[in-house]
Amino acid sequence: MQKKKVYISGPDVFAPNARQLGDSFKIACRDCGFEGLYPLDIDQADITSEIIFAENLNKIRTADIVVANLNPFRGECIDDGTAYEIGFAHALKKPVYGYANDLRSLRERIGKYDGSGYEVEDFGYPVNLMIAETVSYVVEGDFTDCVRWLRTVM
């Protein structure tokens, strides 16, 4: 039986130790019976934004599952690239699962209004409703916690 491929979505690619994180994520996938597809696993020669975009969309197309880091990034909400990848996977009818350290609702974390005075939605989700309604399940914890949970339901 062929291992299910997991596309690893999240802002972790911007971390100073991004390659090491990717390796640890792929090991966690392997240990749980999956094959991890990490966005930075592309030929680094003559890299352009167009190549990165095309390669990552191709990885999502070939993946069976997307696992997304839903932790706030550069603000109160998830990384915008991750949000795009979640939507793209959803449009392809790929199952998306997420993880976050804090599953309190946006309203609980931010308050009734954000720092710019905009009202914070109150649907009880830890992320924007468009993400919450797209992601099949959110695990409290980290990437490894999520793929371990995923192993129990796949």
Measured torsion, CA atoms of residues 39, 40, 45, 50, in degrees rounded to the nearest 10: 30
Mean pLDDT of 123-136: 97
pLDDT of residue 43: 77
What pLDDT sits at residue 47? Answer: 85
Sole residue written with tokens 């069976």: 64
Residue tagged 């802002």 (tokens): 11
Query: Domain 4-102+138-153: which CATH class?
Result: alpha beta
DSSP conformation class of 72: -
**Residue 2 pLDDT:** 86
Phi, psi of 146 (to 5 degrees): -65, -45
pLDDT band at 39 (very low <50, low <70, confident <90, very high): very high
State percent of the chain over pLDDT 70: 100
pLDDT for 59 beyond 80? yes
Residue 37 φ then ψ, to 5°:
-115, 110
Boundaries of every domain in the chain: 4-102+138-153
3-class DSSP state for residue 125?
A: coil
**Mean pLDDT, rounded, for 55-65:** 97
Around Cβ 46, how many Cβ atoms within 10 Å?
6
The label of the residue with tokens 């914890």 reads 141
| SS3 assignment, position 118 | coil
pLDDT at 46 over 90: no
Task: Give dist(CA 90, CA 97) in Å, integer.
Answer: 11
Please give the model's pTM, rounded to 2 decimal places.
0.95
Mean pLDDT of 119-137: 97
